[in-house]
Amino acid sequence: MNSSNRQGFMTRLDERRESSRFRRRQTRTATAIEQQFASNDYLSLSQHPQVLKAAKDALDRWGFGSGGSPLLSGYSNAHRELEEALAEWLDVEAVVLFNSGFAANHGTISTLIQTGTIYFDRLSHASLIDGIRSTKRRFKRFEHNRIADLSAELTPTAEDWVVSEGTFSMDGDRIPEQELSELQQHSKVSVLLDDAHGLGVWGEQGLASYGALRDNIRLLTGTFGKAFGASGAFVAGSGDDIEELIQFCREYIYSTAFPPAQAAAIQAALTVIRSDEGAELRARLADNIDNFKGQLQQRQLNLIASDSPIQSWVVGDDQQVMLLKQQLQQAGFAVSAVRPPTVPEGSARIRFSLQAQHQPQHIDALCQQLDKLS
């Protein structure tokens, strides 16, 4: 690194520190469910016996690493079977696996969107925004969840795209499904829906917003790092679209495939999600969400309206939100503090993530601790 580049780098770091937005990795210490309110493991499947057994059995069969990229030596029967199981669950022609949600979103958008204008929600995830920017296509942001305004003002055509999350990762609210369905039927616009935080969590068989919108969705992206309790991601769609990704998507072609044991564990998680047990876990999670929301509303905290496991207490001030996180951590509770630029200016927040395995007494204990802080 030459001296001018290094000076610029150091200046950026100093500015980040002075703005109270310097990010630090923290080693996870809270493993007990009663302490953990920062994890995206919404259905608590990362510790499910069937998931762990599937991973262990696959390790005995395949070893750990995949050994290569999917187009060389890294694509095993475990990967193929997972893709087929996902395609059957989602009722699509084909599915392809990726190492992360960021890679899936960025790679899909940069590879497949070659024409028209891209309309995307202002609060879309960074992976969607970066993918859109990489296309060099014309794009327009619309105000958060204002699909009706998009329909009235922007009049997309069949060559255009609408890109959005299903359940939004920071606010936890959901896309207005009826409005999006009407827009797509009227304009024939292509829709890419990222439902990373919705799939598995709600709806019949855990299909979330996709269950209501499947006839309107051209491409669905999702991750395994939330309800599935693992990591990795997928893209689902027509056979032609998925084949184009396999042939031309650089994020897919030039990345080592994730381990076969991971694929086997994810398939076991999918089996649970689709089962009666999965429905029970979703019902338990919904009860926990209602309980937590009710308690925070009684305390008149500034909570963003959300029916998802993502519950956000907007504090506003960056330094104050970090102090609150530290105090909760010292009391034994793991929560997330989210500051700009991840969220809009003035909306720094404590982000709570609820799980199916939380018990009422765990939620009570957290809320009682909040009484001491707020």
| 28 has a pLDDT exceeding 70 | no
Per-residue pLDDT at 150? 83
List of domains in the chain: 30-46+276-373 (3.90.1150.10), 49-274 (3.40.640.10)
At residue 244, the 3 state secondary structure works out as: helix
| 7 has a pLDDT exceeding 90 | no
| 215 has a pLDDT exceeding 70 | yes
State the chain's mean pLDDT as an integer: 92
261: left (phi over 0), alpha (psi -120 to 50) or beta: alpha
d(CA 160, CA 120): 11
Concatenated DSSP letters of 25-39: -------STTTB-S-
Per-residue pLDDT at 12? 76
pLDDT in tens, 275-323: 999 999 999 999 999 999 999 999 888 889 899 999 999 998 899 999 9
Active site residues: 40, 125, 165, 169, 194, 197, 226
Give the residue-averaged pLDDT of 201-212: 96
Per-residue pLDDT at 29? 66
* Burial of residue 11 (number of CB atoms within 10 Å: 0-12, 13-18, 19+): exposed
Per-residue pLDDT at 26? 73
Element (H, E) at 8: helix 3-18
| 5 has a pLDDT exceeding 80 | no
Distance of alpha carbon 333 from its chain centroid, rounded? Answer: 22
| Distance linking the first and last C-alpha atoms of the chain | 46
Element (H, E) at 350: strand 348-353
Per-residue pLDDT at 34? 81
How many CB atoms neighbour CB 374 within 10 A?
14
pLDDT in tens, 67-91: 999 999 999 999 999 999 999 999 9
| 24 has a pLDDT exceeding 90 | no
